[in-house]
Structure formats: structure tokens, C-alpha cells
A and B are shown apart, each in its own frame.
Chain A
């Protein structure tokens, strides 16, 4: 665990639900991660083009033109460095499209609602410790 490099760049949080964003930011910041958030997929992609991030946490189902699956696809195409540094959040993993995406990409996914510990474990495992 100590070998995991200290993250210098913030984690990008893409989530349309403000209360969920607030909880995630609180949980992550309390553990020492720096967090930047985007309220939609489109905003997320804009931010991704602007600076470095140590990882991306994105909700799958979001209103607007860009959803989580598309964010995921964009990263695969344009940010190979972040390819393995994505965590998806889903309110409905039973959705067949979601299942297909997760199965094909092997991207880790955390299902709402989740415990803080579940989140931190997955973040540490995927992005490393802060």
C-alpha cells in the first residue's frame, strides 16, 4: 500500500445529483484526495481536455447529451492514460446496457447506494492512496 504513489492530480467527479456529489467529495476529501467535480457528462469531457486527473469517477445515467458510457468511451479514445483509472457509479446495474458495458470493458462499478468503506476500498484499489 505504501508503494502506491501519492496522487498529485485531483480526481474528476462526474455526477448530476448534487447530494451524491457532496457526499462523494466529503468522503474522498476526508481521506485526503483532492476532488474536482462536473455536473454533467459534457462538462466532464470539457474538464478532461483542460488538465491532468489522477482518475475519473462517473455516474452512468445522467441527463444531457453525454452519459457515463459515452464519457467512458471518450476516455478510451482520447485519454489512454486514464483508461484503467475510471470508476463508474450506477443506480441500476440490472440495466442490460450497463451490464454489457461493464462486462466488455471490465471497468469497476459501484452500485448506489453504497457504504463509504465500499467506495474508499474501490478508489484506493483503482487510483491508489492520496
Chain B
């Protein structure tokens, strides 16, 4: 109870002061002690107080010099009074302090031997040899300091000793109080510093919503010193963040709650407001403390993260190892065809997303083993059941024990690429097949006309790779048509397609073929023509066939025409011939008129022959289908003309294949054909004037019987036109120009063909007649018919 002790000492001093005092200082001492107590209670400055204390003690005890020593660890502070009276040198002070520090327990007046004499100021003779020391001791017996007096008049009296104790008690009390106070000050200052060091904004307000305190962060945010805000209404802080609170404090919501925590947002900033309310002893003491934590950056980071998470085109997900999504982004929802994030979060990954549940197990075991899966290909099932091809990058999150606790992944939709890829592959295969199986040669030329590619067909046609690749295609074109080809190539190089030009091109066996050629430009990315695709089709056979078809069509039309004309001509002819005959029968006709009539008769006869030929040509007499031995027919035919041949020195050579199969046809008609050809040959060799020779050769060529009749006559001017009706090279009146046309019609009706060509390296021409060999079935049928007749 230091305070009580001190008080009692004071009371004691007072009591003493109230007693009738024998000496003035004692009466004076009571007032002094009261003043001292008042001074101690109000003093905030310890050194000044201690100096005043020293003066007061000096005065009260009538000393020449007084000092208060305060111990601070090993240091000692000395506060003194009477320095004008005593010449106290530092060495004296040191001596006093050393003794003072030893005087621990009780006050005593000691003779002190100084190193040098301690004298009064201005009086070197009077020396001070005794000093009174009064220890200042705290209530817990700690030695706080020492009161020290130099009086120069002997040992203090009993009253003076009581007074000294009272003074020492006062000093102890004051020192203790000062020490506590300064500790309090220090800790308070420390606390404020600590609060100020907090970057969160802190504001404390009272019940009437007036600011009691703010920390430095808040003040500096508002640009004022912290104290400036004290006493302001809380509403002045609305500028920090606009809240919808209707209370005078923008951060209070429910003043009945001891604690509150919520987020307020201003356009610029977002705060987490934590509020604590401390109920005071009285209502006035109630304090509300708001701590505003600026979340703006964190929220912004979170917002950015969320935005990125949702806006990214790749699917992102967090999932449990059991196969539930914890979070998925919008892309993921879209990719899997779900209506909402919530719907997808409800889905069970194994059964809903995996077409085969075992696949999910395979995935999980791969992830367990490796921890990370890069470009993991997985086929998943969309909500509507269609398949989704994905490429995933997965990371497993493990706990301390290594158990997977979460799966994080990024997912790419590669369905389109996959589909595109397989489509591309199919298309490529398809194109390759076309290229390789087409009956056309397909070549690619560079802009210089050099062949850079040839398809399989080109090589199957017999061309060798080294003949084509790197060579100019134009060199294969017939010399006379190269300009046409170059022109077409030029047109294509300018980006235009050239379709179906017909050119004669040298085949690999050096024969010339008739080709239909199309050229298409191929462009690079910039649209410039960088190569030309040439499609070449050998249409030689087609051209021949077409020519034959056109010819037979022509013949049929002429046939119908001729038939009609011939018939109409026959009526007037009948009248002319008939009346001429009747006139000639008349004996009264004069001789000269008779001659004229003879001419009419002759010419009419000739006309009749022509019409007869025309009708033969045009007649649609069906071919009799019977087995024909071609050699026999030929021999019979030759016999018909053998007299003429022999008499005109025309040699006939028979080169017959005696094993010749039967033909199926009309022997009479075939005889007409052979006779016609023989007649032509006879005429041709007759014209030449040298020894005529006609060779007749028969052979079987595949399914045809071929008869070749070769003469060494004049040859044929136009082998193509020779079968046309009315085409004749013979002099007028010698032929109608229908003979070979009739032959043509007959052979065609037999399903065969007739053609004519001039002999190579020899004069004359060769007629070839081909008629089909009778099939076994046809032969059997014909024999049966023969037997039944």
C-alpha cells in the first residue's frame, strides 16, 4: 500500500504541523507538504517537479543545498537546489551519488570525506563535512532514489527526521506515479502506433455517431491528420463508400448486434466492413469500431479470374475424384450441350459424360499414376447423346497423403477438326481412287508446260515415267496441232478452263490416237495459276464408232427416201416404156421415128435399172438366218465371173481357211456382196491395164469370219466415202453408185462390217468383210430348222 503509507506520512506531517511547533520551519513545513502533494498531483513533468521538490526540501530543512537522486538502473539522475550556495563540483556530486546509492535502508547524517574540500560559494574557509541521506523506497522496497541535504549544522532533530521521512515518502509516491504514468503513456502511444500501422481503415464512434478515433490509414486516405476527424459526425465518412444505411453512420446496419460483417462497394472500391460494438459501463461509453478492409484488388482479381474462366473458349473444370463437377465454365457447359452450369454440376461424369464407364476408370487410373495428363484424347457424350471429341490437359490435386482430392482440367473440342480430318482423308482417298481408276490420263503441268504428275492410267497406257515427268506434253501432240495445244495451255494459264478440245496425240506405241483433252487451271493461295491439270481421254474408238453410227443412220435415211422415190418413178416409167413399146409395134411409124423410139426405149430401160438398184439398196428384206459356208459362197461367186476373169487375163488367188466356221446369215445376200466387190475389183484392175490380180483370203478373227479381197488395181480415191450411196468414180452409165451402199446395208444387217483401204506399199485396194461366226446355240437351232423342213 504505498499510497496509504505516503498518505499516512503526510497526515503525520500535517498532524505535526498542527501541533504547536517550537520552530518556524515545522509550522512552515505543514503548508509546504500540502503544497507538495498538490504539486505532485498536478505535475506532469518529472524533472521540473523534482527540482521544485529539491528546493522545497532545502527550504523546509533549512539546508544549504538539496538534491534528489533518481536511480535508473546503473544511472543516477540528480536534481538539485542551492547550487548558488554550495560550490558543488562534479567530483563532489560523484561522491554524493556513490554514498546515496549505498544508503538503502534508512536516513542518516554522515560525515563525508570529499577528495577536495566542499565549501560554500564565496567562502573558502567554511567547509561542509556532514551530509544527510534519506533513501526513497518504493512500496515494494525497491530503491528508487535518495534525498540528499547539506546543512552544515549538525544532526537533524527528531522532528526534522520525521519531516525527512515524510518528504522521502512523497518523493517515492511521486516517482512511482510518474513511472506508472509514463509506462501507461508509452503503452498507449505504442497502441496508437500499432493501430496506425494497420493498413485497414479503422474508425471508432460513440453512441451519438461522432468519431472518437480513426487510424492513420483512414485519415491519410481522406488527406487529413488523424486528430482532425475526431468529433466529426460519422456521416462525413460517406465519401469513403456509399452504403444504403439509413443510420447516421454509413457502416452501421444493426446497432443491436455486437458484431457485423458485410461488404460495401463504391464505384471505385470494395470494402469488407467488420464492426464490433463494445458496451460501456454507461451508454456514453458505448463504442462502435468499424474496420474497413479494402477488398478491391482481391475482388478485382477474383472478378478477372471469373471473367477469364467464363469467357475462355476452352472448357475449364474442377471435379471431385468421384466424378462430380465442382465448377465448370460456360464454354464447358456449351461444349457438352447442357442448358446451364447448374445442370452440368448435377451430372454424374462417369455415367452421363462417358459413353463407356470403363473409359472414365481408365482416365482416372492414368491420372493417378502420372498426376498430370497432357493432350489426353477422350471421347465424351453430349447431353443429346452425340459424341464430342476432346483433347484434355488434366492436373490432379493431392492431399498430404498423396490421395487425389480434386481434378482440374482444360478441355478442347476437337470434334470438328476430327470430323474435318476424317472428311479430308475420305476425300483424299476418294480423289486418289478416281485418279487411279479413271480411264482418262490425268497429268499436271507446271506453267512452263512440263509434266510434274501423271496418274496410274497414264503409265498403264504404256508411257514410261521418264518419258513423261519433266517433259513437255506438247511434244506428244501431233506436229500440226501443237499450236492449238499451246493456245489452250495459254488460255488455261490465264485462269480459264478449256474443255474437250480434240487433238491427235502420239501414244506410247508411237501410233497416233484421237484424244479429248480438258485443261483446268490450279491456283495457289494467292489465286495465281501455278499449274494446269490436263485430263486426256483416248476417244479414237469412240470417234470411229460415232462415225459408223452416223454412217448407218445416214444410210437408213437414204434408204427410206430412195424407196419412196423409186416407187413413184416406176409408174410414169411404166407408161413411158409401155407406150414406146406400143408405138414400136405400129408398122406405120417411119424408120427415123422408130430409131428415136428405140433410144427412148433404151434410156427407159436404163432408168428402170437404176430404180431397181435403188430399190435393192433400200429394200428392207430381212436377212435369212441360216448356216452359211462362206468359202462355198465365194467359190460360187467367183464361178459367176470366172469366164470374164479368164478372158481378160485377171488372176484370181484363193487363200481360204478350210477350217472356217459357219457364219449365220443369208447366203444369197452375201453372194451379192462378194459379187459387187469382185465386180469393182475387176473394173479397177481393168483400168490399170496391167495384169490384174485379185486375191481372196478367208480367216477367222476372233468371233468374226473375215474375207479380204485385195486387188492390184487403181486403188480407191476416198475410202471413207466409198460406201455412200451414189458415190461412184466410174464413168456415167457404168454404175449407179449404189452397189457398195447395198453391200454395206447387207453386211450391217448381218451384224458385221465392211471396210475398204488402199494397200500399203502396193497398188490397189483391199475390201474386208467381217460377219459373225454362228454361235453353237444358233448353229444347233439352224440345224434343227433344217431338219424340220
Question: Is A113 at the interface (CB under 8 A from chain B)?
Answer: yes
Which residues does chain A contribute within 8 Å of B577, judged by CB atoms? 113-115
Which residues does chain A contribute within 8 Å of B618, judged by CB atoms? 94
If A19-B572, A91-B570, A92-B563 touch, does A116 touch B578 (CB 8 Å cutoff)?
A: yes
Question: Is A47 at the interface (CB under 8 A from chain B)?
Answer: no
Which residues does chain B contribute within 8 Å of A95, judged by CB atoms? 619
**Is B575 in contact with A23, judged by CB distance below 8 angstroms?**
yes
**Is B578 in contact with A27, judged by CB distance below 8 angstroms?**
yes
Which residues does chain B contribute within 8 Å of A117, judged by CB atoms? 581
Question: Is A125 at the interface (CB under 8 A from chain B)?
Answer: no
User: Which one of B604, B608, B615 contacts A94 once the chains associate, using CB atoms below 8 Å?
Assistant: B615
User: Which one of A24, A27, A61, A119 contacts B567 once the chains associate, using CB atoms below 8 Å?
Assistant: A61
* Chain B residue at minimal CB-CB distance from A118: B581
**Is A17 in contact with B581, judged by CB distance below 8 angstroms?**
no
Specify which of A22, A61, A91 lies most central, judged by the most chain B CB atoms within 10 Å of its CB.
Answer: A91
Question: Is A101 at the interface (CB under 8 A from chain B)?
Answer: no
**Is B579 in contact with A23, judged by CB distance below 8 angstroms?**
yes
Question: Is A112 at the interface (CB under 8 A from chain B)?
Answer: yes
CB distance from B199 to the nearest CB of A (A): 122
Do most interface residues of chain B lie in helix, strand or loop, or is the interface mixed?
helix
Which residues does chain A contribute within 8 Å of B579, judged by CB atoms? 23, 26
**Is A113 in contact with B582, judged by CB distance below 8 angstroms?**
no
User: Which one of B563, B604, B615, B619 contacts A113 once the chains associate, using CB atoms below 8 Å?
Assistant: B604
Specify which of A26, A112, A114 lies most central, judged by the most chain B CB atoms within 10 Å of its CB.
Answer: A112
* Chain A residue at minimal CB-CB distance from B619: A94
Question: Is A20 at the interface (CB under 8 A from chain B)?
Answer: yes
If A20-B575, A113-B577 touch, does A99 touch B621 (CB 8 Å cutoff)?
A: yes
Which residues does chain B contribute within 8 Å of A23, judged by CB atoms? 574-575, 578-579, 582
Compute how far the CA of A99 lies from the CA of B619 in the bound complex, rounded to whole angstroms.
11
Question: Is B22 at the interface (CB under 8 A from chain A)?
Answer: no
Which residues does chain B contribute within 8 Å of A115, judged by CB atoms? 577-578, 581
Compute how far the CA of A95 lies from the CA of B564 in the bound complex, rounded to whole angstroms.
11
Q: Mark B608-629, 1 if CB is under 8 A from A, else 0.
A: 1000000110111110000000
Compute how far the CA of A30 lies from the CA of B581 in the bound complex, rounded to whole angstroms.
12
Q: A residues 38-60 with Cβ under 8 Å of B? A: none
| Interface magnitude class on chain B | 20 to 34
Which residues does chain A contribute within 8 Å of B125, judged by CB atoms? none
Which residues does chain B contribute within 8 Å of A22, judged by CB atoms? 575
**Is B582 in contact with A30, judged by CB distance below 8 angstroms?**
yes
Question: Is B539 at the interface (CB under 8 A from chain A)?
Answer: no
Compute how far the CA of A91 lies from the CA of B567 in the bound complex, rounded to whole angstroms.
5
* Chain A residue at minimal CB-CB distance from B584: A116
Which residues does chain A contribute within 8 Å of B576, judged by CB atoms? 113
* Chain B residue at minimal CB-CB distance from A94: B619
Which residues does chain B contribute within 8 Å of A20, judged by CB atoms? 571, 574-575, 578
Question: Is A96 at the interface (CB under 8 A from chain B)?
Answer: yes
**Is B575 in contact with A17, judged by CB distance below 8 angstroms?**
yes
**Is A17 in contact with B571, judged by CB distance below 8 angstroms?**
yes
CB distance from A118 to the nearest CB of B (A): 9
Which residues does chain A contribute within 8 Å of B582, judged by CB atoms? 23, 26-27, 30, 116
CB distance from B565 to the nearest CB of A (A): 11
Question: Is B212 at the interface (CB under 8 A from chain A)?
Answer: no
* Chain B residue at minimal CB-CB distance from A99: B621
Question: Is B566 at the interface (CB under 8 A from chain A)?
Answer: yes
Compute how far the CA of A27 lies from the CA of B572 in the bound complex, rounded to whole angstroms.
16
**Is A112 in contact with B571, judged by CB distance below 8 angstroms?**
yes
**Is B571 in contact with A19, judged by CB distance below 8 angstroms?**
yes
Compute how far the CA of A115 lies from the CA of B577 in the bound complex, rounded to whole angstroms.
7
Q: A residues 64-102 with Cβ under 8 Å of B? A: 91-92, 94-96, 99
Pick 24 A–B contacts, CB within 8 A, sort by A.
A17-B574, A20-B574, A20-B575, A22-B575, A23-B574, A23-B582, A24-B578, A27-B578, A91-B567, A92-B570, A94-B615, A94-B619, A94-B621, A96-B620, A96-B622, A112-B570, A113-B574, A113-B576, A113-B604, A114-B578, A115-B581, A116-B578, A116-B582, A117-B581
Q: Give 9 new A-B contacts, CB below 8 A, not counting A17-B574, A112-B571.
A: A19-B575, A24-B578, A27-B582, A91-B570, A92-B570, A113-B576, A113-B608, A115-B577, A116-B578
